[in-house]
Amino acid sequence: MTKLGIYKNIIEGIMTAALLFIFPFRTIFKIKLFILYFIIMHLAGRYRKSTLLIWDELELMFKGYLAYFASSLLIIDYVHFQWQALGWLVLFLLVQGVCNLLIARFTHLIFWKQLRKNVLVIGAGHTAKQLQQTCKVNRYSLLNVKGFVNCNNDPTMKSVDQELVDQELPVYLLRDLEKVIEKEKIETVLIAIPEMNRIDQRTIVERIMDKVETIKYLPRMEGLVTFDTKIDDFDGLLMISTSQGTISRPQAFLKRLIDIFAGLAGMMVLGPLTLYVRHLNHKQGDRDPLFFTQTRIGKDGRPFTIYKFRTMVPNAEQILDELMEKDESIRKEYTENKKLKNDPRITKAGDFLRRTSLDEFPQFINVLKGEMSLIGPRPYLPREKEDMGERYDDIVSSKPGITGMWQTHGRSEVNFEQRLELDEYYYRNWSLWLDTTLLIRTIKQIINKDEGAM
């Protein structure tokens, strides 16, 4: 158990004892609940040594509380059973769960400086930058990246020729690796060069094995690794088994049920929001139609009409053609990203709607009709089908969503190819838990008005 695990045990122990003191349970039942809680949470792995993101912690907490509730039912004194006692038990678990969520969230922030691990990333390419950004915005991981190591043109590396990108932290040369580890007091090294061969990896590992606590690396799996991937010790051999998560009928039914409730809730907001958008447009002298409709690619490639609040001038497509014909840089940008960063076609009200994601609300109509889902891949245009290439069949196997992977993992900073990769990842790793995490990230981004990942 780590220092953080010890802190959590102490804080949660004090909190649980205080709650049990307040709730009207019999003394022997309070003692049993107290002991049972820590047994269940330890078995659930909440205090394990591996680094977690907040989504992992929430999943472990959810599973742990299900087991805790089921186990607590077994220790109830049914000889003197009263339904009122069961109600108090449910209330206790709810209050304790909320308190634990707050503890799980703020212990990482309060003890950040004491518990963080100084990290050095081997690599200075796109993967290294993505890894650093993940560590930066997920402070829950307690990984504090101090810099990068450029392995290009080093005589000891035979397989490394990365496309270097601008990094916001210092980039060191591989020959200075040991000096950097000592200077920056590095505890964890992350090898973020998936294309590096085994010989080069071993060279780096042997150099630093006795100088840091932990060495981790990103393997080159070409998208084969999913949430169902397992690593097995096959009599001394490292064996990776992976299977693609497919949605079962009960899961599909539950996902559709969630979409219906979400669609109804969205429609309740859509009414007054439409009046507000109408007022906003008229105030700025824009009296053209409020809604924008367009044909998109739906599940299994079936076309459907998507609804959005209009954020561009009415003849946007014609203007785009004219812009691309006049300006080669605009043509190149749109061809590569399927969008323009500074799009002159966007209206003043449209800019506000896009920044706040309010332009997406009419898509709840599509959700209710069953053409879209609350969470799913981006709804692509028919003209983008050819550019989707081999990923097309995987992506259209799921209903397009109002929000999804690309919206919560960079959005405006993500190019078209990366968007395809994220949507394919969603298809290969789909689960109700993944949908839950993406929905939470979306809500957090809207509240924080943040386009980046959480």
Task: State CA 206 to chain mean position distance.
Answer: 34
pLDDT of residue 225: 45
Mean pLDDT by 10 residues, the chain (454 residues): 79 92 91 92 76 74 89 82 83 91 81 86 88 79 89 86 85 92 92 86 89 82 50 59 65 91 92 90 84 92 93 78 80 74 79 82 94 93 90 91 83 76 85 85 72 38
Give a yes or no: residue 334 inside a domain: no
156 lies in the same domain as 255: no
106 lies in the same domain as 125: no
Give a yes or no: residue 241 inside a domain: no
Q: Which residue has the tokens 């209009």?
A: 310
Is residue 307 within 8 Å of residue 291, measured between CB atoms?
Answer: yes
95 lies in the same domain as 17: yes
Q: How far apart are CA 367 and CA 353, in angstroms?
A: 20
Sign of the Cα pseudo-torsion (204, 206, 212, 216, in order): positive
167 lies in the same domain as 96: no
Buried b (16+ CB within 10 A) or exposed e, 159-193: ebebeeeebebeebebeebeebbeebebbbbbbbb
| Domain span including residue 438 | 249-311+346-448
- How many domains is the chain built from? 3
Residue ending a domain, among 85, 112, 139, is 112
In this structure, the strands spanning 237-241 and 230-234 are antiparallel
Looking from the CA of 323 toward its CB, the CA atoms found within 13 Å total: 19
pLDDT of residue 224: 44
Element (H, E) at 234: strand 230-234
pLDDT of residue 230: 60
96 lies in the same domain as 120: no
Is residue 302 within 8 Å of residue 399, measured between CB atoms?
Answer: no
pLDDT of residue 51: 54
Residue ending a domain, among 61, 89, 112, is 112
385 lies in the same domain as 435: yes
65 lies in the same domain as 205: no
Buried b (16+ CB within 10 A) or exposed e, 51-80: bbbbbbbbbbbeebbebbeeebeeeeeeee
DSSP letters, 251-284, are HHHHHHHHHHHHHHHHHHHHHHHHHHHHHHHHHT
303 lies in the same domain as 392: yes
Radius of gyration of the chain (CA): 26
136 lies in the same domain as 280: no
Give a yes or no: residue 321 inside a domain: no
137 lies in the same domain as 197: yes
pLDDT of residue 399: 93
Q: How far apart are CA 158 and CA 417, in angstroms?
A: 28
pLDDT of residue 377: 92
pLDDT digits (tens, 9 = 90+) for 123-171: 888 888 888 887 887 777 788 899 999 998 888 888 888 888 888 899 9
pLDDT of residue 47: 76
Enumerate residues 6+ apart whose C-beta is below 8 A from 320. Answer: 334, 345
The beta-strand segments (E) located in 300-413 are 303-309, 373-375, 401-403
Domain of 164: which CATH number? 3.40.50.720
Residue type, 434: L
Q: How far apart are CA 404 and CA 61, in angstroms?
A: 24
Residue type, 388: M
Is residue 114 within 8 Å of residue 431, measured between CB atoms?
Answer: no
Give a yes or no: residue 238 inside a domain: no
Q: How large a percentage of the chain has pLDDT more than 90? A: 30
Q: How far apart are CA 40 and CA 72, in angstroms?
A: 10
363 lies in the same domain as 380: yes
40 lies in the same domain as 146: no
Give a yes or no: residue 199 inside a domain: yes
The helix/strand/coil state of 42 is helix
pLDDT of residue 233: 60
Q: How far apart are CA 135 and CA 144, in angstroms?
A: 7
